[in-house]
Amino acid sequence: MKEAIAIKNLTVNIGNKTVLDNINLTIRSGEFWGIIGPNGGGKTTLLRTIIGVVKPVKGNVKIFGASPEVAVKKGWIGYLPQKINGLVPFSAIDFVSLIGDKEKALESLRLVEMDHKKDMPFERLSGGEKQRVLIAAVLARNPKILLLDEPSTGIDTVAQDAFYNLLRKLKENGITIVMVSHDVGVVAQFVDYIACLNKKLKYSGDPKGALDCKLLKELYGHEVNVFVHHPECKGCHIFQKSS
């Protein structure tokens, strides 16, 4: 598969502090990656570097062989930040069509299974429904890559599973997905690969490898409780403690 994102020898400083230290990571077209790690470990900074907002002091990022600035200009990347500031005084379809026509907006809402609520005010939607509409707004630009920063925050367990299954569907449609998350055990069930990040890249590869107790303790600096949704029981979970 073609390289969608190639990160080579990437070092990023914020002020006098090194936030990312010599990161090397290759994400291929159509893959679904989860990025996990502690708060302040550089996860959001990595996404912001991929879109060209943060500039590295060393190394580089290439998007399908081009610079982040070119990739963003061409609409190859769709980015959903962790927080959307302010109220959204629009219906779902009006919000999605802010960056395109309503026909494309409806198509995007249909893809995320929210077309039946197209006329509902955005602020009256549930947390999970809002996230779907936000993704529809990103998809309306036909991105090749979807970057998501903690997209399941504030969504209940059942809605989370439905949301992650939606992302799998988008992945199967050929979209490359990179998702930052704190839900280690849950994310491991849905992604193709996981990268463990705490300033340095501690691990990248099969999701099962990321659940290693010693790795998690090293990554977070303390014992970690891992919750995994049980596939046959909505809302249930099993529990693993690193030690």
User: What's the pLDDT tens digit per position in 159-182?
Assistant: 788 888 889 999 999 999 999 998
Dist. CA 163–CA 166, nearest whole Å: 5
Q: How far is CA 206 from CA 143, 150, 155, 195, 231, in A?
A: 25, 20, 26, 9, 19
Lowest mean pLDDT among 23-32, 40-49, 193-202, 221-230: 221-230
Average pLDDT value for residue range 81-106: 86
Report the candidate in 178, 201, 202 with the shortest Cα–Cα distance to residue 191: 178
User: What's the pLDDT tens digit per position in 97-111?
Assistant: 987 788 999 999 998
Looking at residue 50, what is its pLDDT?
98
Q: The pTM is what?
A: 0.87
Domain ranges (residues) in the chain: 3-76+143-213, 89-142
Report the candidate in 185, 143, 141, 144 with the shortest Cα–Cα distance to residue 161: 185
Average pLDDT value for residue range 219-234: 66
Beta bridge partners of 193: 33
Lowest mean pLDDT among 72-81, 85-94, 137-146: 85-94
Whether the pLDDT of residue 222 is over 90: the answer is no
Looking at residue 227, what is its pLDDT?
64
CATH hierarchy code of domain 3-76+143-213: 3.40.50.300
Could you tell me which residue, 146 or 218, shows the higher pLDDT?
Answer: 146
